[in-house]
Amino acid sequence: MTPSTQPNQPAPAGLRVAIVTGGSRGIGRAVSQQLARDGLAVVVNYARDAASAEDTVAAITGAGGRAVAVQADVADEKEVAALFDRAEAEYGGVDVVVNAAGRMTLSTVADLDLAALDAMHRTNIRGTFVVAQQAARRLRAGGSLVTFSTSVVGTQFPEYGAYVASKAAVEGMTLILARELRGRDVTVNTVAPGPTATDLFLDGKTPEQIDRLSKIPPLERLGRPEDIAEVVAFLSGPAGHWVNGQVLRANGGLV
């Protein structure tokens, strides 16, 4: 695991601290920046793209926030434990964990390369579980875990079978973990975005496909990463702390 080159920053008493996996790009970056604007110190996790992670950190610190970039594979329990160790060493503890890291491969069930299936499920299922396990052990009272699913669990579009299977597993874990954390004052929720204008969503789609998908929600547009980040900020903040064990479909009315 490679730590950020950013210098340590003094952590004032009462500082709330967030770990955002997949926090350097797309929805994860928007979440990192939103939580920083809300006053949290943010540990921006990334898998491979160190440059994007450092750019996200620079954007946060340039606006007066606190952030550090830390590399870790979310499916590797030792690296994830070290990620949490770094957050605790840097800022004193962990209050919010947002698992935005994810992988998507589209194919019919008949044609899917099983190597792609294994890679996707390693990140989306095992990775979510590993991050949730550390969050369950380490989140401070008043804390929150937010994981990610997809609204396609409900829309059931063709070619999303393997991806939906991985995200349905995340949804199935949500209420169970919330109940397992009884008495800890820690919430567990899942956000299931609809079509959102990120590289992950746009990759491989034609302009015609994108236009068609953007017209499906009653609001007749794609979601923006910022739309999802604001939902995450609500669920992980004091105003949303009564929401627990839920799957929130943030999709403009898609389903």
Residues with a catalytic annotation lie at: 163
Distance between CA atoms of residues 11 and 160, nearest Å: 43
CA 233, CA 30: separation in Å to the nearest integer?
Answer: 10
* Secondary element (H or E) of residue 144: strand 144-148
CB 146 within 8 A of CB 232: yes
Closest CA relative to residue 191, chosen from 224, 138, 230, 137: 230
Q: Which residues of 83-100 are buried (b: 16+ CB within 10 A; e: fewer)?
A: bbebbeebbbebbbbbbb
Rounded to 5°, angle at Cα 32 from 27 and 38: 125
**Strands 41-46 vs 96-99: parallel, antiparallel or unpaired:** unpaired
Would you say 193 and 228 are in contact if contact means Cβ atoms under 8 Å apart? Answer: yes
Alpha-carbon gap, residue 110 to 227, rounded angstroms: 35
Answer yes or no: are the C-beta atoms of 16 and 96 closer than 8 Å.
yes
